[in-house]
């Protein structure tokens, strides 16, 4: 497993452990107010004279910091299970710094869509699911390619993660990717209309944030990808 993926999981576990075992309930609430993503933070008409702690800084950093907070260890475990395969595939291709940038951008995109769909919402949003969704989408751009991790003639070495990715419009015509997209979006729409919370918790599933991260990962993949895309055939030049 790439070290950056294991490091992120370790950070998620340590933060959750610190919140549950070191902080009082009041301190944990203050921690959430500083670092969770709260749409009402951006609605000045609701804030009166007090507002939320953190001021302008929290309005900026919570677009990312919310991704490192979770409802409980079950929530951490679920996201970690999905992060291991998809995050590992992306980290092997991108390297540490590109991977971290991609993780951050997809988290921000998830928060942005959540803000657009939940204006003035007082409940905090937490969890790495938007970034995990972005990593899923990014991996779709190359894992099914010939010689890739899931290709028909796949290999077990690192070169399988460095195959050129198909252009987005070409990838979206791949039946395997279409099936994945239908299943993934259908599952998230099911969360939106019929599944109120995570098992064992009262935390609602921010499925719009999942979609924001996924779409960002699908579209922005090419901006981070260090592997040159498939070369297009060029006309033969004549003297």
Specify the CATH architecture of the domain 3-224: Up-down Bundle (1.20)
Which sequence spans correspond to the domains of the chain?
A: 3-224
Q: pLDDT digit string (tens) for 26-56?
A: 999 999 999 999 999 998 675 554 578 898 9
- Is pTM beyond 0.85? Reply is yes
Residues in the chain: 239
Residue 156 to residues 83, 93, 239, Cα–Cα distance (Å):
20, 14, 45
pLDDT number for residue 238: 43
Give the pLDDT confidence score for residue 105 in this predicted structure: 98
Asked whether the beta carbons of 99 and 91 are under 8 A apart, the reply is: yes
Q: Which residues of the chain have pLDDT under 50?
A: 49, 152, 196-202, 232-239
- Residue linked to tokens 């007090």: 50
H/E stretch holding 124 reads none
CB 67 within 8 A of CB 127: yes
Contact assessment for residue 43 and residue 120, using Cβ atoms and an 8 Å cutoff: yes
Question: Three-state SS for 44?
Answer: helix
**In terms of C-beta density within 10 A (0-12 exposed, 13-18 middle, 19 or more buried), how is residue 24 classed?**
exposed
> What token pair was written down for 89?
């595939």
Alpha helices, DSSP H only, in the chain?
Answer: 3-21, 25-35, 44-47, 55-65, 73-94, 96-117, 129-140, 168-171, 175-194, 207-224
Query: How high is the pLDDT of residue 59?
Result: 94
């Amino acid at each position: 497993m790439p070290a950056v993926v294991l490091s992120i999981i370790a950070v998620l576990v340590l933060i959750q452990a610190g919140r549950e075992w070191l902080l009082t309930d009041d301190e944990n609430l203050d921690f959430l107010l500083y670092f969770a993503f709260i749409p009402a933070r951006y609605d000045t008409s609701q804030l009166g004279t007090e507002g939320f702690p953190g001021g302008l800084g929290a309005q900026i950093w919570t677009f990312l910091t919310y991704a490192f907070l979770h409802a409980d260890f079950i929530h951490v475990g679920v996201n970690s299970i999905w992060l291991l395969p998809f995050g590992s595939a992306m980290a092997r291709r991108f390297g540490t710094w590109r991977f971290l940038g991609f993780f951050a951008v997809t988290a921000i995109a998830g928060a942005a869509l959540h803000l657009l769909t939940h204006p003035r919402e007082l409940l905090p949003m937490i969890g790495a699911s938007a970034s995990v969704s972005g990593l899923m989408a990014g991996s779709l751009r190359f894992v099914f390619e010939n010689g890739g991790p899931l290709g028909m003639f796949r290999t077990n070495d690192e070169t399988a993660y460095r195959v050129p990715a198909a252009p987005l419009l070409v990838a979206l015509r791949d039946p395997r990717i279409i099936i994945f997209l239908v299943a993934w979006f259908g599952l998230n729409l099911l969360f939106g209309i019929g599944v109120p919370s995570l098992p064992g918790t009262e935390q609602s599933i921010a499925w719009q944030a999942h979609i924001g991260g996924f779409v960002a990962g699908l579209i922005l993949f090419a901006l981070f990808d260090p592997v040159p895309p498939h070369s297009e055939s060029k006309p033969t030049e004549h003297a």
